[in-house]
């Protein structure tokens, strides 16, 4: 049974997370990618709780049910410190699992701000990504500023970005990623000001944080990579290995940048096998 809880973030922004699993088990903190919500981890949450872990599945600031920055600012430095807020009750061992922006945030919290973690799982993110892939994501997020008339229209936009993924017969699953405006139109459930982030500065901070982790004994690190991703290339993986020789890599076939959404079964398998070795649930 998952319980939805509210936390106060670094500068007073409300953070919302689903929390469940044995209270005395190691904690797995899930952080979604940019433009997503915590609901993108539905399958992973179930798998991790069934495996015996306590799971905290949060909406990043500016996303989903979490609050928006009053100043419209979302620096990585503040995102990283938000993690402390949702872990305020302490934990019996900690694993951070982050996809894309969530992975950058988790890495920065450990490498730049000293958060103690036993395991770090980064999903399809490396310190030096392919800029063409990053640009395609930003173009998708910038598209449709006036929103959508209905769920079918939103589903068509997703299908055009990711044509390889089978289109769901029923688009109702998109509802949790959309909010209805006063004009009755549907818009993505995140603050458009997020697009004004300093991407170059954030990735430089992320790279520095990963280099710092390379000098630490912990956490153990796993990269889960989508083999069809246009953001993580062999070159990016090689650069990560240079920074962090101990990193383990799980390659997921038939998956793009949104690995858990494309192949949740393979994602769960690789992640849970890794966590059972480095942070057993009991």
Q: Is 264 part of a structural domain of the chain?
A: yes
Strands 119-123 and 220-226 come out as parallel
Question: Strand, coil or helix: what is 50?
Answer: helix
Q: What is the pLDDT of residues 180-194, one digit of tens each?
A: 999 999 999 999 999
Q: pLDDT value at position 202?
A: 86
Q: What's the pLDDT at 40?
A: 93
Res. 148 pLDDT band, cuts 50 70 90: very high
* pLDDT tens digits, one per residue of 48-103: 999 999 999 999 999 999 999 988 889 999 999 999 999 988 899 999 999 999 99
- The per-residue pLDDT of the chain, averaged, comes to 93
The whole-number average pLDDT for the span 224-250 is 95
Provide mean pLDDT across the span 32-42: 94
- Is 31 domain-assigned? yes
> The CATH number of the domain where 16 resides is what?
3.40.50.1820
What percent of the chain has a predicted confidence (pLDDT) above 70? 100
Task: Give which of 138, 166, 169 is closest to 152, Cα–Cα.
Answer: 169
pLDDT given for residue 169 in this prediction: 80
Q: Does a structural domain hold residue 183?
A: no
Mean pLDDT, residues 139-148? 92
Please tell me the total count of domains within the chain: 1
Query: What's the distance, Cα to Cα, between the start and end of the chain in Å?
Result: 19
Neighbours of 273 (CB within 10 A): 12
Whether residue 165 lies inside any domain: the answer is no
**pLDDT tens digit string along 39-57?**
999 999 999 999 999 999 9
Token pair of 93, please?
A: 């061992």
Q: Residue 17: inside a domain, yes or no?
A: yes
Range of the domain at 201: 3-131+191-278
For residues 5 and 277, give the distance between their C-alpha atoms in angstroms, rounded to a whole number. Answer: 29
Asked if the structure places residue 100 within a domain, the reply is yes
160 is a domain residue:
no
Residue 142, C-beta contacts closer than 8 angstroms, at least 6 positions apart? 195
Is residue 215 a part of any domain in this protein? yes
């Amino acid at each position: 049974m998952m319980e939805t809880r509210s936390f106060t973030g670094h500068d007073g922004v409300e953070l919302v997370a689903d929390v469940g699993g044995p209270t005395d088990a190691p904690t797995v903190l899930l952080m979604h990618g940019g433009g997503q919500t915590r609901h993108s981890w539905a399958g992973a949450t179930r798998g991790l709780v069934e495996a015996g872990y306590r799971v905290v599945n949060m909406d990043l600031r500016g996303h989903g049910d979490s609050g928006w920055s009053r100043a419209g600012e979302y620096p990585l430095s503040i995102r990283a410190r938000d993690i402390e807020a949702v872990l305020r009750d302490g934990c019996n061992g900690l694993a951070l699992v982050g996809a894309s922006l969530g992975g950058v945030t988790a890495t920065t919290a450990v490498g730049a701000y000293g958060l103690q973690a036993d395991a770090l799982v980064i999903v399809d993110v490396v310190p030096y990504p392919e800029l063409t892939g990053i640009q395609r994501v930003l173009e998708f997020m910038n598209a449709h500023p006036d929103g959508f008339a209905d769920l079918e229209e939103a589903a068509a936009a997703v299908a055009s970005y990711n044509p390889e993924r089978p289109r769901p017969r029923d688009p109702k699953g998109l509802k949790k990623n959309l909010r209805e405006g006063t004009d009755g139109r549907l818009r993505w459930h995140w603050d458009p000001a997020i697009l004004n982030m300093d991407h170059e500065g954030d990735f430089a901070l992320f790279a520095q944080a990963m280099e710092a982790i390379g000098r630490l004994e912990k956490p153990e690190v796993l990269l889960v990579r989508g083999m069809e991703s246009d953001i993580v290339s062999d070159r990016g993986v090689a650069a990560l290995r240079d920074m962090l020789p101990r990193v383990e890599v799980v390659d997921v076939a038939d998956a793009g940048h949104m690995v858990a959404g494309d192949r949740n079964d393979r994602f769960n398998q690789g992640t849970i096998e890794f966590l059972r070795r480095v942070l057993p649930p009991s």
